[in-house]
């Protein structure tokens, strides 16, 4: 840079003056950077007050007893059967819902990505409308569909397929169905995006090289869509772990999810220590899975691209 600068004789500047100017510029830059960051301040303070502070408080509550002494009693309590069975149910449900979402979501996203633009746009509305409709409204609709006197039971009874109403809701099954309905768009939307970006010429090339349609699909399309699928799976699984609303309404008190245990521990027993230990564990598992799975899948996906 030195060679390019204007000689001091022409500008009438001294070396000291130039240094002073450089320092001034650096100061200005720093000032500008800080004034830029200060724009994030309102949002930052709000999240700090409403979310980060309470979470830190929960961590503290879970580890220290009323006298302020460090204790692991709250975490030891989590090993009791009633909590363990709740963890088990939560993971079972999250697993089943994720598998169902993959089985339903993959063919759906695949076909949508293959159809002509106009047709796929119209059919996309079938995915987007549920996505934009309140979870509460949809859960209510499932209750109406699945309950003992509900539409499905009444329909099957009047057609003579069954003679006793099936118990479709207030159990694991009903909860899973409602949750799959909520989660499916979360899997389909990123997956569809990924599939849309797969060049169809790659499949033609595979066919040209002698691959059967099934081989071309498996070895080219499936592999290329895998990163979209894994990010969808991660999202759905993690969202399931912390899900509250749908299990609370469709579980009928029989499906005791992790999140419901937290809420019950506070509202029924007022036990903040136990509830916060449950909460902190949920938080750690959620973030662990979110970043752990992302890293794991990210490496795999990167290798295959």
Pick 14 or 197: Cβ nearer other proteins: 197
Map the footprint of other proteins across residues 71-100, applying CB under 8 A.
none
Residue 126 engages other proteins in binding (rule: CB under 8 A): yes
Shortest approach of other proteins to residue 31 CB, angstroms? 11
What lies within 8 Å, CB to CB, of 157 at 6+ separation is 163, 165
Pick 99 or 143: Cβ nearer other proteins: 143
From candidates 181, 187, 233, 236, binder to other proteins by CB under 8 A: 181
From candidates 96, 99, 102, 135, binder to other proteins by CB under 8 A: 135
Q: Could you give the 3-state DSSP secondary structure of residue 68?
A: coil
Pick 58 or 93: Cβ nearer other proteins: 58
In our burial notation (b when 16+ CB lie closer than 10 A, e otherwise), range 32-61 reads: eeeeeeeeeeeeeeeeeeeeeeeeeebbeb
Give the integer Cα–Cα distance in Å for 237 and 179: 11
Instruction: From 191, 177, 266, 197, select the one nearest 234 (Cα to Cα).
Output: 191
What lies within 8 Å, CB to CB, of 245 at 6+ separation is 135, 136, 139
Shortest approach of other proteins to residue 200 CB, angstroms? 5
70 DSSP 8-state letter: B
Q: Could you give the 3-state DSSP secondary structure of residue 64?
A: strand
From candidates 290, 294, 297, 298, binder to other proteins by CB under 8 A: 290
Map the footprint of other proteins across residues 150-169, applying CB under 8 A.
151, 154
Residue 132 engages other proteins in binding (rule: CB under 8 A): yes
Shortest approach of other proteins to residue 7 CB, angstroms? 25
Pick 8 or 65: Cβ nearer other proteins: 65
Map the footprint of other proteins across residues 205-244, applying CB under 8 A.
206-207, 211-213, 216-217, 241-242, 244
Dihedral pair phi/psi, residue 161, rounded to 5°: -70, -35
- Indicate the burial class of 72 (C-beta count within 10 angstroms; 0-12, 13-18, 19 or more): exposed
Give the range of 54-62, 73-81, 223-231, 297-305 binding other proteins by CB under 8 A: 54-62
Give the range of 2-10, 11-19, 121-129, 161-169 binding other proteins by CB under 8 A: 121-129
Please identify which residue in the block is written with the tokens 């047709």.
119
Shortest approach of other proteins to residue 189 CB, angstroms? 12
Beta bridge partners of 64: 70
Give the integer Cα–Cα distance in Å for 180 and 130: 12
Shortest approach of other proteins to residue 228 CB, angstroms? 18
């Amino acid at each position: 840079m030195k060679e390019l600068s204007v000689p001091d004789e022409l500008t009438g500047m001294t070396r000291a003056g130039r240094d002073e100017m450089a320092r001034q510029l650096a100061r200005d830059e720093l000032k500008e950077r800080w004034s830029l960051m200060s724009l994030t301040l309102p949002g930052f303070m709000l999240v700090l007050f409403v979310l980060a502070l309470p979470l830190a408080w929960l961590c503290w509550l879970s580890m220290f007893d009323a006298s302020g002494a460090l204790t692991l009693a709250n975490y030891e309590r989590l090993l009791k059967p009633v909590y363990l069975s709740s963890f088990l149910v939560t993971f079972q449900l999250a697993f089943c819902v994720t598998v169902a979402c993959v089985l339903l979501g993959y063919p759906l996203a695949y076909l949508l990505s293959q159809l002509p633009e106009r047709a796929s746009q119209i059919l996309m509305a079938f995915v987007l409308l549920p996505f934009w409709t309140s979870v509460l409204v949809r859960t209510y609709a499932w209750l109406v569909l699945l309950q003992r006197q509900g539409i499905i039971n009444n329909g099957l009874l009047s057609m003579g397929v069954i003679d006793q109403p099936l118990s479709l809701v207030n159990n694991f099954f009903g909860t899973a169905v409602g949750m799959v309905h909520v989660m499916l768009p979360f899997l389909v939307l990123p997956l569809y995006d990924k599939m849309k970006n797969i060049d169809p010429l790659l499949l033609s090339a595979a066919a040209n090289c002698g691959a059967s349609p099934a081989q071309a699909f498996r070895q080219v399309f499936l592999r290329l869509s895998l990163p979209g699928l894994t990010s969808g799976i991660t999202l759905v699984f993690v969202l399931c772990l912390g899900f509250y609303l749908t299990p609370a309404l469709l579980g009928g008190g029989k499906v005791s999810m992790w999140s419901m245990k937290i809420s019950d521990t506070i509202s029924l027993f007022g036990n903040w220590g136990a509830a916060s230990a449950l909460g902190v564990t949920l938080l750690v598992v959620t973030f662990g899975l979110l970043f752990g799975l992302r890293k794991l899948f990210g490496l795999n996906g990167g290798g295959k691209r």
